[in-house]
Copies of this chain bind each other. A is one copy, B any other.
Amino acid sequence: MVETRIVPAAGGAGVRLRRGDRLRVIDPQGGQSGDLVAYSLDGRERLSNGRTFDYAGKIHLSTGDVLWSDRSSPMLTIVADDVGRHDFLYGACTVEMYHREYGVVGYHPNCADNLDAALRELGVEPGPHQTAFNLFMIADVVEGGRLLIRPPTCRAGDAIVFRAERDRAAAISSCPASGCNGGAPPRPLAFEVLPAEAPAA
């Protein structure tokens, strides 16, 4: 029996993965974007968009593509993807981003703090974040390199599945930014870990 864990709306959760485990991230209600980071268990190696873009030769990543670390280790391979579009350009949202872009005063839930807290619960000191992998978020590069964010196209129950290529710590955040979620308030995400030896869901 695979346990389904909830990432609370605008909150975060962490999980340790053994090599070969599959991490299935689900959007239970549809239309919700999230942030994903992955670290080596000693915290010294983390996802790198620059390394991944280089080795993939592209910025849009889906089934069959590998997410690489800043030290050229394969971290996660996308082995199934109901959605097909995710973003690896935008940094995780932060308090400062809400101050600047949304005019928020005081604290606002944000992916960076959610990811940091989830990693620390796993015993991993996050240090300076690399740019996160933004689940289900769609940012198009258009004329002149301009970026256009579109609402996620994921429907209720859609999922993306990653295979861990090493033992890793991962953290997931349900993005609180309405701009990434088609203007809707944040909703929960969910995830399951399918052990290496178990058949695919």
A contacts, CB < 8 Å to B? 44-46, 48-51, 53-55, 57-60, 70-72, 89-92, 94, 96-97, 100-101, 127-132, 141, 144-147
Indicate if the CB atoms of B57 and A147 lie closer than 8 Å. yes
Indicate if the CB atoms of A58 and B91 lie closer than 8 Å. no
Once bound together, how far apart are the Cα atoms of A146 and B49, in whole Å? 14
A144 neighbours in B (Cβ, 8 Å) = 58, 60
Q: Name the distance in Å between A185's Cβ and chain B's nearest Cβ.
A: 21
| Residues A145 and B60 in contact in the complex (CB < 8 Å), given A46-B128, A94-B72, A129-B70 | yes
Q: Name the distance in Å between A167's Cβ and chain B's nearest Cβ.
A: 18
Once bound together, how far apart are the Cα atoms of A156 and B144, in whole Å? 25
Indicate if the CB atoms of B72 and A145 lie closer than 8 Å. no
Nearest B-chain residue to A89, judged by Cβ: B53
7 more A-B residue pairs beyond the given contacts A46-B128, A57-B147, A128-B130, with a C-beta to C-beta distance below 8 A: A50-B89, A55-B100, A55-B101, A59-B145, A70-B128, A72-B96, A141-B141
Among all A-B residue pairs, the 4 with the closest Cβ atoms: A50-B91, A50-B131, A60-B145, A72-B96
Interface of chain A, main secondary structure: loop
Indicate if the CB atoms of B60 and A91 lie closer than 8 Å. no
A145 neighbours in B (Cβ, 8 Å) = 58-60, 141
A127 neighbours in B (Cβ, 8 Å) = 127-128
Indicate if the CB atoms of A44 and B90 lie closer than 8 Å. no
A146 neighbours in B (Cβ, 8 Å) = 57-58
Q: Name the distance in Å between A88's Cβ and chain B's nearest Cβ.
A: 9
Indicate if the CB atoms of B147 and A49 lie closer than 8 Å. no
Q: Which of B55, B70, B89 contacts A59 (CB 8 A)?
A: B89
Indicate if the CB atoms of B131 and A128 lie closer than 8 Å. no
A49 neighbours in B (Cβ, 8 Å) = 49-50, 89, 91, 131
Q: Name the distance in Å between A128's Cβ and chain B's nearest Cβ.
A: 5
